[in-house]
Amino acid sequence: MSFFSKLKESVARTTETVTQKFVSGLSKTSSNLVGAMGSIFSGRSKIDEDLYEELEEVLISADVGVPTTMHLVERLREEVKTRKIKEPNELQPVMSELIAELLEDQDEPALRLNANGMSIILFVGVNGVGKTTTIGKLAHTLKREGKKVVLAAGDTFRAGAIEQLETWGERAGVDVIKQHAGSDPAAVIFDAIQAAKARKADVLLCDTAGRLQNKVNLMEELKKVFRVVQREVPDAPHEVLLVLDATTGQNAMQQAKQFGQAVNVSGIVLTKLDGTAKGGIVIAIRHELDLPVKWIGLGEKADDLQPFDRDQFLHALFQEGSR
């Protein structure tokens, strides 16, 4: 069975609605990355250095990143030699296999939840990436699954952040624990843990600051929040999800490195993938950071936040080849 046939078989196991969300949300990236690769492979009569150089440019322009691009092109060279490939138009399925190879260990659960009590999930990331919106959408999803959810308004410094989380809480029908603007974020998280315990919540989703006042170090403040959580619930947090904006490309990679040094990030939420042609950042994150992309934002609606599905991602990316 060919690679694309296996993909179609795998994708067929999920609902058509989910498949369509991935296809429409990744259409810009598919056109920019796979469409451009296809033009190179179909527009040349031989496999030569010019082809590899053009391929590098296409991958880098789609935010696959320089290290990951070099890895993929080197692997392609090896496969061309091993398989004795002569025709450029045979390279597209090989590239899809190589990208799949990089995402191979991506079959982790969307969320690691505590089977024996309340789960605490911390959300970290700079302002403007869609952190609060992501929390609201995830609350909606978990509530729909029958879980009792509480939200912690720990981003006390960004104007309107508390009110924004309250709005999402009302939409999802879940409680929001808050203090006044400018409060100590760690104190808010402490209160939220006590309230969530008292209400026998299944999941506590904690918003955190993306920027603090000038004299306060953001990373030190996050470490403080982390310590409070661990003190109150020894096996928590069960996830520390770093929210990144896919439209910022390589800036997102830098943010991931900075936050990863401060707190033990367990996974990535990549927002606004539908708004960029540079969704290759998913591949770069997996290869360079060795972190799973757990959720992706494919639109504005609450259910447009989807658990990352490797086969759906590849199918949407290579949709022309998989027809």
Phi first, then psi, for residue 152 (nearest 5°) are -115, 120
Strand partners, 153: 207
Phi and psi at residue 219, to the nearest 5°:
-65, -35
Q: Is 258 helix (H, G, I), strand (E, B) or coil?
A: helix
Average pLDDT for residues 150-158, to the nearest whole number? 93
Note whether 103 and 316 are within 8 A (CB): no
Split at pLDDT 50, 70, 90, the class of 321 is very low
Q: Report the C-alpha gap between 5 and 7 in whole angstroms.
A: 5
66: which residues sit within 8 A by CB, 6+ positions away? 60
Report the pLDDT averaged over residues 59-64: 90
Q: Give the H or E element holding residue 23.
A: helix 16-25
Q: Residue 66 above 90 pLDDT?
A: yes
> Mind listing the pLDDT tens digit for each residue in 234-273?
899 999 999 999 988 888 888 888 888 788 899 999 999 9
**Could you give the CA distance from residue 66 to residue 55 in angstroms, rounded to a whole number?**
12
Higher pLDDT, 226 or 211: 226
Separation of alpha carbons 77 and 252, rounded Å = 29
Cα–Cα distance between 79 and 83 in angstroms, integer? 6
C-alpha to C-alpha distance for 207 and 319, rounded to whole angstroms: 36
Indicate the average pLDDT of the chain: 89
Answer positive or negative: Cα dihedral of 287, 291, 294, 300: negative
Per 3-state DSSP, the chain is made up of helix, strand and coil in percentages (nearest 5) of: 55, 15, 30
CA distance 76 to 186: 49
What lies within 8 Å, CB to CB, of 257 at 6+ separation is 289
